[in-house]
Structure 1
């Protein structure tokens, strides 16, 4: 754990912007989920960042800044190339690593929990998967947080 993160919770939009930029930098470069952003969606980070920051600001701080359809773009991606439980698991892994690398506290924990809930809900809705099966140890479904390489210490 870095010293910066030890005493610094996510406190608002500016913090979210930094976390999201860190996350998307990793996600765009990731071999597993990067193509969803770069090749399929053709995401322009500078256009996407204010929108997704609105989403997370509303999710964590209950602001009214986000009024878009969050499911539609994911459904379009899924139609172009099916998103698997492992893809959602990798998203959660990178999201948690981005948050953990910068922040500790109740809002950071809520951001991570919210990210996992969103991933589970999207996967269930897109693939018709039973969330209990996704979380079952030993399943080929959702990657449990305890098994994530980025969260292990050596």
Structure 2
């Protein structure tokens, strides 16, 4: 969160940046357009914002395709996501935190539901909280959730296909 501000005024009390994650409200810093967001592809925050506002990009994936930001090492993707979502919200668009088209919630929320309800197979999870047959995004996520909950081998007896 601080790397893009190197050599610039922080815009907030410096001690606010030292609070542990979840301890205090996050510090709101609006990055200037000339800050380099992706050093691998030399893409600035302004270029990312222009991709959203002027070129019609409506997702991180579309911005990656348009600007090449986040396509080399990937370390800037969390900041890229924040900038894209913030720009979309300022433009009046609703930003979805859905994992994919099959699950309308993020991974953490799905994990909590699977754990609380004791679901044990991909089919049960899709029947209760999803739709369709799954995709290359949600299948590995569900397999990871089941595995981390100690369900056993995720391919037995209900394969995640």
Bigger-Rg structure (1/2): 2
| Alignment TM-score, normalising by the size of structure 1 | 0.27
- Name the structure with the higher helix share: 1
* Higher relative contact order, chain-length normalized (CA < 8 Å, sep 6+): 1
| Alignment TM-score, normalising by the size of structure 2 | 0.26
